[in-house]
Structures are given as structure tokens and as C-alpha cells.
Amino acid sequence: MLDGGGHHAFTSHKPRPGQAKRNPNHHPVILATSTAFWDAYLKEDPEAKRWLQTQARSVMEPGDRWEMK
């Protein structure tokens, strides 16, 4: 979960008036974690899965939360 992230965190559109400003770190986090996820589970890449389990938190900010089930 990205702290302060809303639906606009997943787009390149500017937030509407009254919406919180987008955190510039959200897109890099989304790109890194989603790419690793697809590599881990679609390509069956053990390094990508290991990164998700051990390093994904390193690209996130202190208020963000990482969970795996």
C-alpha cells in the first residue's frame, strides 16, 4: 500500500483540483514491484520472487506498506 496513494497513483494524469498531489516515487515503486511480480509468477523467475520477498520494501518510502500472502 502506497501511503497517500489513490487511484490517480496508477495513471500519468494530473490530479484534479482538490485531490492530493501525486507522490513522484509511486510510479517507480509500481513499476518495480509489478514487473517483479509478473516475472516471478508468469516467467517463473526465482530471482524476481526472491526480490519480492526480500528487497521490494527497499524501493518504498517509510509510510508505505508491503505484504505478501
Give per-residue pLDDT as tens, 3-60. 887 766 776 667 677 666 778 888 899 999 999 999 999 999 999 999 999 999 999 9
Tell me the domain boundaries of the chain: 24-59
Q: What is the pLDDT of residue 4?
A: 81
Report the pLDDT value the prediction gives residue 24, as an integer from 0 to 100: 82
What CA–CA distance (Å, rounded) separates 16 from 35? 28
Angle at 63 between CA 24 and CA 65, to 5 degrees: 100
pLDDT at residue number 64: 94
The pTM assigned to this predicted structure is 0.78
pLDDT at 58: 96
Q: Which residue has the cell 518504498?
A: 60
pLDDT for 40 equals 97
